[in-house]
Structure 1
């Protein structure tokens, strides 16, 4: 007998606030429909809620168990995301990987922007000090939706580059690099190609350089533009995560670490290395020598991912310049959350992005 699903009791207040603040009336209307959407999907996919409802930046995460014929089944999560073009190809990426380095996709409803996914723990690579897998996950909460979107300035832990902190950073880069290597499989037709964004990236860099009061030297901006011309316009047809950072890598049981929240796109795998490094920088700011810490992370990641170190450096430099300009124009969400009157000119994350961009300029 198929179980009668219990309705979700509450949607987390933080998710309601963030969604309405970001999406306005459209977000409020979607939130009003969300309990009904979840109930419909639980019924259709024969699931019952099995834990605390959580959320990522754009998706509600409902821990569930699949059941049928009165037998309790596999632990999973129901993820329902706000309908947005950036979320369209997430299930496509999971379908390509089929559990290779990422959580498995069990069911999908593209019209609802919903998926039934393998459940992983809530322990992210950013939070773990277990490094390359020597420890065990602490807790069984689930968080298959930790991504916080582009331009958000995600921190990745608090370890500095001394002693244990350096070893943790090396282990993090090793885990991420090996995972990136596994995800870089041939991409099918129909997925967005990063190469198609090259012209937009160039136009945005030139516009931001001209319009914003920034502190980046001419040679730093020129280096980013050169990367667009020389690397971005022609790229391999390999799967990318697209938002690859340590908070989108979760502890799991089937494999030590699994990726979540992919954008689902194709291009140069070294691009994902730039995403990882950009998000890692806040954790390295207390390092005695930031330049040394950054280049060490590049070395370890590139070796583990079996990528050309110079390509990873150049993509990382482009990411840093884009992040610095984003912070100047829009402000980082983390800084805005701390102060409604934050000044981009004094924002430590903007300054960190600009410093990183210069450190990575050859």
Structure 2
């Protein structure tokens, strides 16, 4: 099967892992795809585009004709941890893993890749998102290998620190780093989290109306997991005349509906927004960074 990988995948892998590492894996992707299709006896319908930022997803048919999705990710993106999380959830609130072999690509139940919560009006989307993510917050398996929120954010904080003197991002970076220090010092719980939960990560399905996909699983407190959802559709928030008050109301509404501490959710929302902004600055995506910094400034 010859194809060009989606450009979003190419850009995101290069930004996250470096162009050389990304190029090496992308050069093998066609061969990896052929091997995966043959090993699982799958036939291809189409590549999902624009697709994910760390994996190639294909709509396929299994040997019995039933629909499925094949997800191929580089080992450095840790698809093994995604597999472990999906096995533990076993379809509860999340896409179901159809083949549970160790290592390699993931064969998943077929959802509707073009229908996510972003297709709904904002209020309805947030309601459905809250109902979905609460299902994922369970005790992690014994002897799990998932990273903690404290460990992941410590690595991110190290990368953020170089923007402490930046004229545009410096004050917000300092505030975000201070918020993180306070939050990790007294974490109230250790649950299995999605890790990258937002409206675009919840797709329509047949087994359930809305199911989460694409976890970057870790363990920690629920407020961290909800923080990325708070800034969904940030372009609309920034463009609105009452964007700042709308963002704060969203924090309060989500915190109250899921019984979370408002200030902890606000703190993690600040940290994750500024962390994303500094990554955008490092990648030269200044417009994205400016949107995120404006949003963070409201918090």
Q: Distance in 2 between matches of 1:107 and 1:262?
A: 17
Distance 1:352 1:21, change over 3 A: closer
How far the C-alpha of 1:171 sits from its partner, in A, is: 1.5
Please list every run of 5 or more consecutive structure 1 residues that lacks an aligned counterpart in the other structure: 1-7, 130-167, 333-343
Q: Distance in 2 between matches of 1:265 and 1:194?
A: 6
2:58 aligned counterpart, secondary structure: strand
Q: Distance in 1 between matches of 2:83 and 2:150?
A: 21
Distance 1:297 1:15, change over 3 A: closer
- Normalised by the length of structure 1, the TM-score is 0.72
More helix by share: 2
Q: Distance in 2 between matches of 1:82 and 1:56?
A: 12
Kindly name which structure, 1 or 2, has the bigger radius of gyration based on alpha carbons: 1
Cross-structure match for 1:89: 81
Cross-structure match for 2:254: 301
Distance 1:292 1:124, change over 3 A: farther
2:260 aligned counterpart, secondary structure: coil
CA contact 1:284–1:290 (8 Å) conserved in 2: yes
- Normalised by the length of structure 2, the TM-score is 0.86
The number of residues matched between the two structures is: 292
Which residue of 107, 112, 115 corresponds with 1:116?
107
Please list every run of 5 or more consecutive structure 2 residues that lacks an aligned counterpart in the other structure: none
Q: Distance in 2 between matches of 1:127 and 1:221?
A: 29
Which residue of 266, 272, 281 corresponds with 2:234?
281
Q: Distance in 1 between matches of 2:215 and 2:232?
A: 15
1:62 and 2:58 matched = yes
CA contact 1:170–1:300 (8 Å) conserved in 2: no
Q: Distance in 2 between matches of 1:254 and 1:186?
A: 23
Q: CA RMSD in A?
A: 2.6
Cross-structure match for 1:138: none
Which residue of 229, 240, 255 corresponds with 2:208?
255
Q: Distance in 2 between matches of 1:27 and 1:111?
A: 19
How far the C-alpha of 1:91 sits from its partner, in A, is: 1.1
Q: How does 1:40-79 map to 2 (within 5 A)?
A: 40-49=35-44, 51-54=45-48, 55-67=51-63, 71-72=64-65, 74-79=66-71
Q: Distance in 2 between matches of 1:195 and 1:20?
A: 24
CA contact 1:101–1:179 (8 Å) conserved in 2: yes
Cross-structure match for 1:10: 3
Q: How does 1:1-362 map to 2 (within 5 A)?
A: 8-12=1-5, 14=7, 17-18=10-11, 23-49=18-44, 51-54=45-48, 55-67=51-63, 71-72=64-65, 74-108=66-100, 111-112=103-104, 114-129=105-120, 168-188=121-141, 189-210=144-165, 212-214=166-168, 217=171, 220-235=172-187, 236-332=189-285, 344=286, 347=287, 349-360=288-299
Q: Distance in 1 between matches of 2:136 and 2:168?
A: 36
